[in-house]
Amino acid sequence: MSSTTDYNELLPVLKAMKPADVLTPNIPIDVFVQEAENLYHWCLDDQQALTKVGLDWNLATTLPSRAGACREAQSLWNKERNTREEAEQAWKEQAPAAFDLRDQLLHDFRFAFRKSEGLLKRVDEIAQGDTNSDMVQDLNDLATLGKANTGLLTPISFDLTRLDLAADLSDRMGDLLGATNGERKEVSETMQIRDKAYTYLKLAVDEIRECGKFAFWRNPERFKGYVSNYNKH
C-alpha cells in the first residue's frame, strides 16, 4: 500500500491515542522509518524464535503500514511547516510597505477630514493599536472609509486608486498573517498526528527489538539486526 493509504487507514487509531502516551521523536523521522522497514525484513526470518519469547507477531506484520503512516505524517508536517516559513518570509518582506501605506492613509485622511469631527473620530479609532492584525484591519477600514468620502479626498489630490490598493493589500496580508500566526499554535494538529504516528511505530519497533535482542543474545549475526544503527542500542 502507499504511504497515503497507510496514513488514512491508521488515522482513526492515531487520533484516539491519549496525549499523555505520545512521544516526541528523538531521531530523524526518515532515519527511523527506514530502520523500521529494515527491521521488518530482518525479523521475517525469525518469526518462530521471536514468537517463542512472547512477541505478538501482529506487531511485525503491521510494521510496513505503521512505517508508511509515519512517513506520510512527516510529509504533511513538512508541508505545513514549509508553508508557514514561506508565509513568514513573505510577511517580513511585505509588511513594512503595508504599514507605511496605513500610515500614509491616516495622514491624508486626517487632513482631508479635518473639518469633520465625526470622520476625524473614526480615523482616530482606526489608528488605535499597532499590531500586525491591527494593520490588516486598518487597511480595510481605511479603504472603506475613503471610498465613502471621496468627495473630501479628491480636493487634496488624493489618488483614489490607493483605496483599492489598501483593500487588496489587507486581503493579501491577512492571508499571510493567517498562515503564520493562525497556524502557530502551541502544537499544530499536523505535528500532533506526526508525533502519534511516530509513537505508534516506535511501540512496535521497540518490542520487536527487545524480543530480538533477548532471543539472540548469544547469536551476534542475528542480534545485530535488532540494534538501531542510529542510536547503537
pLDDT tier at 81, thresholds 50, 70, 90? confident
Looking at residue 19, its pLDDT comes to 93
Looking at residue 184, its pLDDT comes to 54
Residue 66: alpha-carbon gap to chain centroid: 21
- The percentage of residues in the chain with a pLDDT greater than 90, rounded to a whole number, is 86
Looking at residue 21, its pLDDT comes to 96
Separation between Cα atoms, residue 40 and residue 225, nearest integer Å: 10
pLDDT tier at 84, thresholds 50, 70, 90? confident
- What does the pLDDT look like over 39-72, one tens digit per residue? 999 999 999 999 999 999 999 999 999 999 999 9
- Listing DSSP states for 112-163 in one string gives HTTT-HHHHHHHHHHHS--SHHHHHHHHHHHHHHHHTTHHHHGGGT--THHH
**Three-class DSSP category at 186:** coil
pLDDT tier at 186, thresholds 50, 70, 90? very low
Q: Is the dihedral of CA 16, 186, 199, 28 positive or negative?
A: positive
Looking at residue 34, its pLDDT comes to 96
- Cell representation of residue 180: 503564520
Across the chain, mean pLDDT equals 93
Instruction: Tell me the mean pLDDT in the region 190-202.
Output: 96
- What does the pLDDT look like over 117-172, one tens digit per residue? 999 999 999 999 989 999 999 999 999 999 999 999 999 999 999 999 999 999 99
Instruction: Tell me the mean pLDDT in the region 100-118.
Output: 96
Question: Is the per-residue pLDDT at 233 higher than 80?
Answer: no
Separation between Cα atoms, residue 129 and residue 138, nearest integer Å: 9
